[in-house]
Amino acid sequence: MNKNLYKIIGYIFVFFFALIPGGVFAFEKTQLQLKDQDKNNDFVVEPGKTEIFLNKGETVTKNIIVTNRVNKPISFKLSTEDLIGTNDISTPIVLMGDDTSPYSLKNFIKPEISEFTLNFGERITIPVTVSVPLDAEPRGYYGALIVSNEPDKQVDENSSETQGKTRIISRIGSLFLVKINGEGKEEGRLEGFKIGGPSKSFYEKKPESFEIAYQNTGNVHLVPYGKITVKNLLGMGIAEIPVDAYFVLPNSTRYKEVLWSSNAFLFGHYTAHLSFYKGYGNEYQDAQVSFWVLPWKIVIPVFIGLIIFVTLAYYLLTRFELKKKK
C-alpha cells in the first residue's frame, strides 16, 4: 500500500477520535502519601472561591481539586447551584438548590466529569469550563460547583442491620464569582463599625475584636479591605490591625469580624479609627469607635495598696519626730 495512503488513513483516524465527545479527558488523579493522622473522615475541595473576569461570549477553564481523606473508596457527584448574598450576620451566603437567582451562573458552569470515585489519599484535578453568552449583561454572575459524596448503598433499609442508621451526604461548594467587563453598577457603603461582642460601658481588658458591616447596593460583587488604627488619649497610635479583603455579593450586607490578637496591657480611653476601601474606584470611607479599658481587678488592689501606704506614711510622719544626732 502506498505510504501516502497510510498517512492519509492515519490523519483520518486521529481526526475521527478528536471529534468524539469525551474521547480524551484532561482530569488527573494522583495518589498522596497520607498517614494515619491524616484519616480525618472527610474530603477536601479546593479552591474555595474562584474569581473570574470575562468579556461577553468568552470562555475560560479553571481547575478544582478534590481529595479523599476517608479511609475507604468514596464515590462523588458534581452539580451546580446558584448562590445569593443575604443581610443575615450568621448566613452571608445561601445556595439556591433548584431555584434560579437573578445573578444565575449555574447553567454556565460545566465540569469535565460529573461522577468519580476516589480511594483513600487519592486526589483528582478536574477542569471546569465557565462561559457566558454574547448577550450577557455587564454585571455579576454567581454560582457554586457542589461536590457531594454518595452514601454507602444499603441492600435492605428495613433489615435489622440497617435500622437506626443514618445515610449522611456531605456537600462542599466551590464558589465561582464571575464579572462581565463593562458598565456594571459598582456601589456600596459602610453600614456599621463597632467593637465585637456585647456593648459595654468599659472593658476590663482590650476588646477581642471589631465588627464591620458593609452593604453592596450594586449589581457586581465588591472586594473591600482596609485597616484599623487604635490610638490612646494623647492621639498616639498603639496598634494597627489589617482588615483583609473579602467579597460582598450584590444586594446584600456582609459582616466581618476583625480579631485584635495583641496581648498589650491597656488602661484609659482609646479610639479605633477604620480606614475602609469600598472595593471600587478610589472610594474610601472612614469610621471610628471609642472605648474605655479599666482593668479593675488590677486597679482596685493597687489603689487600696496606695491608700494604705499613704495612710501609714502620714501616720508615721505625724506620730514620730525625727531628730538629728549631735
The answer to whether position 18 is within a domain reads no
The answer to whether position 106 is within a domain reads yes
pLDDT for residue 18 is more than 50: no
- Confidence at residue 155, expressed as pLDDT on a 0 to 100 scale: 40
pLDDT per residue over 209-258, tens digit each? 999 999 999 999 999 999 999 999 999 999 999 999 999 999 999 999 99
176/192 same-domain check: no
The span from the CA of 162 to the CA of 261, in Å, is 49
Q: How far, CA to CA in Å, does 262 sit from each of 10, 117, 160, 206? A: 70, 46, 56, 9
35/175 same-domain check: yes
- In the chain, the amino acid numbered 85 is G
Number of CB atoms found within 10 A of residue 48's CB? 11
The answer to whether position 4 is within a domain reads no
Look over the chain and give the mean of its residue pLDDT values, rounded to a whole number: 85
135/43 same-domain check: yes
- Confidence at residue 33, expressed as pLDDT on a 0 to 100 scale: 86
| Owner of C-alpha cell 501616720 | 315
CB–CB of 177/50 below 8 Å?
yes
- Confidence at residue 299, expressed as pLDDT on a 0 to 100 scale: 60
176/213 same-domain check: no
33/147 same-domain check: yes
Closest CA to 78 of 116, 104, 105, 132: 116
144/32 same-domain check: yes
Please, what's the b/e burial string for 9-21 (b: 16 or more CB within 10 A of its CB; e: otherwise)?
eeeeeeeeeeeee
Domain at 102, CATH number: 2.60.40.10
107/232 same-domain check: no
- Confidence at residue 156, expressed as pLDDT on a 0 to 100 scale: 45
CB–CB of 207/196 below 8 Å?
yes
223/78 same-domain check: no
The answer to whether position 20 is within a domain reads no
The span from the CA of 85 to the CA of 83, in Å, is 7
pLDDT for residue 310 is more than 80: no
Specify whether the backbone of 39 is left (phi greater than 0), alpha (psi in -120 to 50) or beta.
beta
CB–CB of 253/234 below 8 Å?
no
pLDDT for residue 305 is more than 90: no
- Confidence at residue 13, expressed as pLDDT on a 0 to 100 scale: 47
CB–CB of 149/74 below 8 Å?
yes
CB–CB of 128/109 below 8 Å?
yes
30/176 same-domain check: yes
Structural domain count of the chain: 2
240/293 same-domain check: yes
Tell me if the pTM is above 0.75. Answer: yes
Closest CA to 88 of 256, 217, 254, 247: 254
The answer to whether position 254 is within a domain reads yes
pLDDT per residue over 104-135, tens digit each? 999 999 999 999 999 999 999 999 999 999 99
Structural domain harbouring 34? 26-151+168-180
pLDDT per residue over 60-81, tens digit each? 999 999 999 998 999 999 999 9
Q: Cis (ω within 30 of 0) for the bond into 111?
A: no
200/116 same-domain check: no
The span from the CA of 174 to the CA of 121, in Å, is 20
The answer to whether position 48 is within a domain reads yes
Q: How far, CA to CA in Å, does 101 sit from each of 58, 180, 214? A: 21, 17, 21
The answer to whether position 83 is within a domain reads yes
pLDDT for residue 49 is more than 80: yes
172/43 same-domain check: yes
The span from the CA of 127 to the CA of 28, in Å, is 9
- Tell me how many helices (H) and strands (E) the chain has: 2, 18
The answer to whether position 319 is within a domain reads no
Of 310 and 23, the one with more pLDDT: 310
